Structure 1
């Protein structure tokens, strides 16, 4: 007996977000007889707890939550990734801060969404500058709280993503010390419970195919997609900001590549050394028994 596949939804993963709000994009799953439902939650960081609780089967986040989930003992598998995302953003300071390089962040505060891809981005950035995690004071702040402190000059640095960066630039001068793309390929990562992937591979592959089709729809309908993404309450940036983001992002699901897995392993090792992850992990142990992506992109 097959179970209902539960798909985590949050605004930081535009593919699943758009898929959850466009019934016509869900039709191919219904026609394939796949039983599924959505579980909305605030952001990618909550994905780890939901997977550990067995509350969702398939998720889409940045690069760090899969590492956190695996290190916490959740039996998860990598299902697919996006291509590298060359969007604007990175470790940023106010232009009037006097800080011009990462080495000057020693002893300073750095805001980020701890547990998100921003954790790996900051760890890589610090490592490249010869600093460790303990050389700065990471602050796990919500976007509104970080923005208020940053604009007021009460925060030394912030791992700033789009579309938040564009919104903040309208209020104060921003200097990006190290762009995210200098240290991280910044892919979207689709992963889930091993039990779902191995017990219901055809259904999971069908979900991935539907998500890939959603990406193709976004790419072919950028204005409409941007309006959908900008319409969610609490999401920073208007339609014009999201429209630019749609043009910059790669669309379409890919099999996790050796390059991606190498980067994930390096991130896991850095985060373990820094104490962010509780134990070392073998990233490749989180690959499924067989790839489910060829049904999507072959």
Structure 2
């Protein structure tokens, strides 16, 4: 198929999906999904222990900032006796990981609160697996910052400035809520979308006026004396991060999701009790300097996981609604459309974290 034909076909599909054909297709797909969910729910209701595992390979996505789950290899230790191989794929940030999942390259991955919302808007068929607990100090490692010599002295000075962050990442919700806290909107700044790792060099050279970042990039800039924080994300009511799965993979491998949640829950408890060992892993696996790791660990919390309870779902819906209200996303979405049935979550999630 030549390029011109492909363009014409794409235009046709765009028009078709906006008309009656698109509505009919959406209706049929929705009906199929509802039936699939009902079958899944009925299966668990009849036999709560009937958690299938059909795959022999699970493809896990993680971000360039690092992943303790990968570094500790706890999933490999659990799955190897079952004959299941774990493959890891690294992505710059959450939005890129979600794109990888949509392209069929990732089965399960860890992202912030915002990427799955943007992915759902784009039509990705995903499901939330498990969330992350937060405490009053969570958010100290996520900052809005300027170079030390910047004329901006307080966060209110951000109005009209170019702000660099990865659009569709957790920083997107952070900046939206931070601006709200001082009576501004997203329209009061100039967004410049750029992955954190790509923006770091330019920021360190003083070429970026306002940068949104987090550890370890924050700690690296801090060590170099090249960062001054205007605001962190403490108290800005983010629901926290999630593990997300491709829906088809999730429905066919509920037993694997259960194992992932169990291992993550145990890992958080181990990490909080063995912070020195976590630091050593960061030095060896992420190739970070000792003093950088010390800064990162001073802000790092291992509070634990949080199941997809009605309370957490409502919090994530609030994030999605705010994006729509502020015109950041083009349509309103329902987080319920990206969930498994409640009794399935009850079957795969430890009771202690379903809060």
Tell me if TM exceeds 0.5.
Answer: yes
Match of 2:103? Answer: 53
Residue 50 (structure 1) shift = 1.4
Match of 2:70? Answer: 17
Q: Does 1:63 align with 2:116?
A: no
Residue 180 (structure 1) shift = 0.8
Question: 1:3-42 residue pairs with structure 2 within 5 A?
Answer: 3=55, 4-12=57-65, 14-19=67-72, 22=73, 26-42=76-92
Q: Does 1:222 align with 2:222?
A: no
Q: Secondary structure at the match of 1:7?
A: strand
Match of 2:334? Answer: 282
1:29/1:194 CA distance change after superposition, 3 Å: same
Match of 1:80? Answer: 130
Write the distance in 1 (CA, Å) between the matches of 2:312 and 2:292.
28
Q: Does 1:112 align with 2:165?
A: yes
Of 39-48 and 140-149, the range deviating more from structure 2: 140-149
Q: Does 1:239 align with 2:239?
A: no
Write the distance in 1 (CA, Å) between the matches of 2:285 and 2:191.
28
Q: Deviations over 1:40-93 (max 9, x none)?
A: 333322111112122211111111111111111112111112211343332222
2:220 aligns with one of 167, 176, 197:
167
1:10/1:186 CA distance change after superposition, 3 Å: same
1:126 aligns with one of 173, 179, 189:
179
1:172/1:40 CA distance change after superposition, 3 Å: closer
1:54/1:34 CA distance change after superposition, 3 Å: same
Question: 1:129-278 residue pairs with structure 2 within 5 A?
Answer: 129-143=182-196, 145-172=198-225, 174-185=227-238, 187-232=240-285, 237-243=288-294, 245-246=296-297, 248-278=300-330
Of 5-14 and 121-130, the range deviating more from structure 2: 5-14
Write the distance in 2 (CA, Å) between the matches of 1:146 and 1:61.
19
1:167/1:246 CA distance change after superposition, 3 Å: closer
Match of 1:98? Answer: 151
- Structure 2: state its 5+ residue gaps: 1-52
Write the distance in 1 (CA, Å) between the matches of 2:265 and 2:176.
31
TM-score by length of 1: 0.84
Q: Which has the higher contact order (CA 8 A, sep 6+)?
A: 1
TM-score by length of 2: 0.72
- Structure 1: state its 5+ residue gaps: none
2:63–2:97 contact (8 Å) kept in structure 1: no
Q: How many residues align?
A: 293
Write the distance in 1 (CA, Å) between the matches of 2:353 and 2:79.
17
Of 100-109 and 145-154, the range deviating more from structure 2: 145-154
2:239–2:316 contact (8 Å) kept in structure 1: no
Match of 2:350? Answer: 294
What CA RMSD, in Å, does the superposition of the two structures yield over aligned residues?
2.8
1:92/1:186 CA distance change after superposition, 3 Å: farther
Asked which structure has the greater CA Rg, the reply is 2
